[in-house]
Chain A
């Protein structure tokens, strides 16, 4: 037997107490689809495992301004939620393409964020939606905008004693347009080669606000700020869309790996941004 320890937290307070006790030695276990795959690959051997699957962090609710989703809400629960479909259809669509039915039954929205994979599908969609993340610890709580959450592959601003409690998505009033595309080598159970999420606020044909995000083309899910800014306060036509797509591709910093080359990823980023913008604007 190893000397590792396992704890099942009954609620978030208990999880925080355990995290403040064990800190860096501990790994938080939600659905397990990332953590256990890393353990099985011998990439990780945590000294302490803190399971939060039964810590009452599984909920979806909406107040007037925000859609709030608890960290251990599974992808399947998100897809099946009528309120998510109504208030954040972009998230529902992105999550529908994560893994396969069994993986979606296990994997959680909090895990998709906290693992900070550059290819995280829910993460890329939530970045486009400008979500706010509530982090808690025994010291207190803080809210971090998703723009400031990711630091690099597998790295976030979460301190070793902090837990991601919930995700809060601002609900757009009328005029929002969105699109999602995931390019993978297989339809299911695959990391994105490139994924693109687009969330626009339109008013009488003018783009008031544009958030264009891409997965798997940078060390973190990428918000293409210049591309978005180019689209804002304008009435998009085909020429502008071509330009925006080009700028978005220039903002990417992809790498070569088993799923695709940097050259291909950049090329396809432009194609996908263009295709999605045309789909919703032309």
Chain B
């Protein structure tokens, strides 16, 4: 039996010994923010935070994550509210098809949690594992730089 805390809520669910955390989140818990793109760790669309660290959930063995805490895009803000990163993506038109957006935002969140004032280069490095096949990277970078400013301001 797999015990997980996802976005603050506790779950207990069965999982196959070789199931990925992504499969469990999407198919068993119906948490569909993390997307399945490549399923081999190349695209980053399934990125989540596991115990606060950015991981690709398609490569996390579900049972090995038992007892750990997961944050997905759904858990960034209260229902009806937007996290500053989500707001900045919206304001900067940083989503085109939107498939990469949850992973991009989680990768950005992991960066800003450790480094609240990143340079543009540091943001690029932090997003290096996330592909946007609409190729809208410039607006994504703009959004994250702007969100970092915004979040720094609100901390004062």
Contact = CB atoms under 8 A, between A and B. Distances in A.
Interface centre among A6, A8, A33, A46 (most CB of B within 10 A): A6
A45 B60 contact: no
Given A8-B66, A100-B44, A188 B128 contact: yes
B126 A101 contact: yes
A36 B58 contact: yes
A1 B1 CA distance: 13
Contact of A100 (B17, B40, B61, B129): B129
Given A1-B16, A29-B64, A45-B18, A102 B47 contact: yes
Report the interface size class on chain A: 20 to 34
A134 to B, nearest CB: 23
A6 B128 contact: no
A264 B125 CA distance: 28
A105 B41 contact: no
Contacts of B61: 6, 29, 32, 35-36, 49, 51
Main secondary structure of the interface of A (DSSP, over half): mixed
A56 interface: no
A164 B36 CA distance: 32
A231 to B, nearest CB: 34
A131 to B, nearest CB: 25
B110 interface: yes
A189 B41 contact: yes
Contacts of B126: 101
Given A29-B64, A36-B58, A103 B18 contact: no
B40 A32 contact: no
Contact of A103 (B63, B111, B129): B129
A187 B63 CA distance: 31
Contact of B20 (A40, A51, A103, A188): A40
A53 B64 contact: yes
A32 B59 contact: yes
Interface in B1-52: 14, 16-18, 20, 39-42, 44, 47
Interface in A99-157: 99-103, 105-106
B129 A49 contact: no
B70 interface: no
Contacts of B64: 8, 29, 32, 51, 53
A282 to B, nearest CB: 29
Contacts of B112: none
Contacts of B18: 2, 4, 36, 39, 45-46, 49
B53 interface: yes
Contacts of A31: 59
A40 B16 contact: no
A258 interface: no
Contacts of B66: 8
A189 B54 contact: no
Interface in B45-87: 47, 53-56, 58-61, 63-64, 66
Interface in A230-265: none
Given A29-B61, A33-B41, A51-B61, A103 B16 contact: no
Contacts of A37: 40-41, 59
10 contacts: A32-B59, A35-B61, A40-B20, A99-B41, A100-B128, A101-B128, A102-B56, A103-B59, A106-B55, A188-B129
Given A36-B41, A39-B20, 10 more contacts: A2-B18, A36-B59, A37-B59, A40-B39, A49-B18, A101-B129, A102-B47, A103-B41, A105-B54, A106-B59
Which are the 10 A-B pairs with shortest beta-carbon distances? Answer: A100-B129, A188-B128, A6-B17, A4-B17, A51-B64, A36-B59, A102-B54, A105-B53, A100-B128, A40-B39
